[in-house]
């Protein structure tokens, strides 16, 4: 086993730091690529010069429990609409709302609950609105196992498993779970019932240089989130467990014949 890899295994603090840094990287990556920022439902016109401000909050059940993966709408007095999803622990965020009065509304057919409140967004702040649902939705979990054949050959593995939900044609981040070793089980909690797509970002640390690339895959080896298979989360229960083989698959063989320019078998050729 390479010496660098042996030293890393002996350092628990190094392992923890790597896991923490990768979790930060994966979270930032999702904020940029899967749309944790609000998505405008209608064009914004005539307000290009108006200042914009972020708006944060949480979606909670009547007993304070977080609710993830629900549609949160922000509607202005002149009927501009923005939409985003609540994420893990019920958090939601609109990155840039033009200053003004809004009605913040949870309106989601998956839970058949409508709750709303009014807020003024502007420089005076605090630009935060928690929405408490009148009725507790029956949320479920997306569960499964994440395995990396490359990491099984020796090395460390960190996986960031995300649940994405279709919001008006755009797949938005609804929740995630971090896996710290190959073969570990994961669970994404507090999801409203419905169909989700699963994205996996993984960092594999193995080999003589003690390094490896960050891989991104979608469930069932799909090339994109649009082509990924649905995973259904039922109300008040776990999804059917999914099994994910992540990253390069080792120990596969390719056989064939090397021929010369005349089509005759050639020996001693390096492939």
The full set of domain ranges for the chain reads: 3-33+138-245, 39-132
pLDDT value at position 58? 94
Q: What topology does CATH give the domain 39-132?
A: Immunoglobulin-like (2.60.40)
CA 179 to centroid of chain Cα atoms: 13
- Judged by average pLDDT, the poorest of 12-16, 42-46, 185-189, 222-226 is 42-46
Mean per-residue pLDDT for 192-204?
90
Label residue 11 by pLDDT band (50, 70, 90): very low
Label residue 164 by pLDDT band (50, 70, 90): very high
Label residue 259 by pLDDT band (50, 70, 90): low
| Per-residue pLDDT tens digits for 47-89 | 444 789 999 999 998 889 999 988 899 999 888 889 999 988 8
CA distance 160 to 21: 12
**At residue 20, does pLDDT exceed 90?**
no
Q: Is the peptide bond before 126 cis (omega within 30 degrees of 0)?
A: yes
């Amino acid at each position: 086993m390479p010496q660098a890899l042996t030293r890393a295994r002996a350092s628990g603090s190094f392992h923890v730091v790597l896991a923490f840094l990768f979790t930060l990287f994966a979270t930032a990556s999702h904020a940029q690529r899967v749309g944790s920022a609000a998505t405008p439902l209608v064009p914004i016109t005539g307000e290009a010069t108006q200042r914009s401000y972020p708006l944060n909050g949480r979606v909670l059940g009547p007993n304070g429990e977080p609710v993830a993966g629900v549609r949160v709408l922000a509607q202005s007095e002149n009927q501009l609409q923005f939409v985003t999803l609540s994420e893990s622990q019920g958090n939601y965020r609109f990155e840039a709302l033009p200053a003004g009065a809004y009605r913040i509304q949870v309106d989601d057919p998956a839970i058949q609950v409508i709750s709303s409140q009014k807020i003024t967004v502007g420089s005076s702040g605090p630009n935060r609105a928690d929405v408490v649902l009148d009725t507790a939705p029956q949320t479920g979990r997306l569960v499964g196992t994440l395995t990396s054949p490359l990491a099984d050959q020796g090395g460390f593995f960190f996986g960031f498993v995300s649940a994405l939900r279709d919001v008006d044609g755009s797949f938005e981040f609804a929740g995630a779970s971090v896996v710290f070793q190959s073969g570990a089980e994961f669970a994404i909690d507090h999801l409203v019932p419905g169909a989700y797509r699963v994205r996996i970002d993984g960092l594999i640390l193995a080999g003589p240089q003690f390094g490896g690339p960050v891989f991104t895959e979608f469930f069932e080896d799909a090339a994109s989130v649009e082509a990924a298979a649905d995973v259904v989360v039922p109300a008040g229960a776990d999804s059917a467990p999914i099994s994910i083989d992540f990253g390069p698959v080792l120990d596969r063989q390719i056989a064939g014949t090397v021929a010369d320019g005349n089509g005759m078998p050639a020996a001693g050729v390096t492939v």
